[in-house]
Amino acid sequence: AQTVTQSQPEMSVQEAETVTLSCTYDTSESDYYLFWYKQPPSRQMILVIRQEAYKQQNATENRFSVNFQKAAKSFSLKISDSQLGDAAMYFCAYMGGGGATNKLIFGTGTLLAVQP
């Protein structure tokens, strides 16, 4: 069975600085997708960034980028120029590519605090 592990329950970063959130996963599949979701206090789940496993290039969305290390099964999220609005819970998620369900498997989350 696939698993997703986020080993940092909490992280803190100064405004305008850079922070990296860690995520590792375990799978025997070769075709899959990885995601980072943001959950602010409003509880809304917001997709931050996605990565297809077959793509070697790391995904980037504005200030958000990932470091995808397929062999190491690692998928970290880097947030550059951190802003107060980035404070939230961040979840890493996995989805297998070959199944019919498209269900997501989530990690336990990292709570990010941004200090002014």
- DSSP assignment letter at 85: G
The smaller minimum CB distance to another protein, of residues 22 and 52, is found at 52
**Residue 50 near another protein by CB under 8 A:** yes
User: H-helix or E-strand containing 90?
Assistant: strand 88-96
The smaller minimum CB distance to another protein, of residues 15 and 56, is found at 56
**Residue 45 near another protein by CB under 8 A:** yes
Name beta bridge partners: 39.
89
The distance of closest approach from Cβ of residue 103 to another protein in the complex, given in angstroms and rounded to an integer, is: 4
The distance of closest approach from Cβ of residue 61 to another protein in the complex, given in angstroms and rounded to an integer, is: 12
Among the listed residues 41, 44, 33, 30, the one whose alpha carbon sits nearest the alpha carbon of residue 4: 33
Q: Which of residues 14-43 bind another protein (CB under 8 A)?
A: 33, 35, 37, 42-43
Residue 23: both structure tokens together:
């995520």
The smaller minimum CB distance to another protein, of residues 68 and 109, is found at 109
CA angle 9, 47, 104 (to 5 degrees): 75
**Residue 104 near another protein by CB under 8 A:** yes
The distance of closest approach from Cβ of residue 58 to another protein in the complex, given in angstroms and rounded to an integer, is: 16
Radius of gyration of the chain (CA): 14
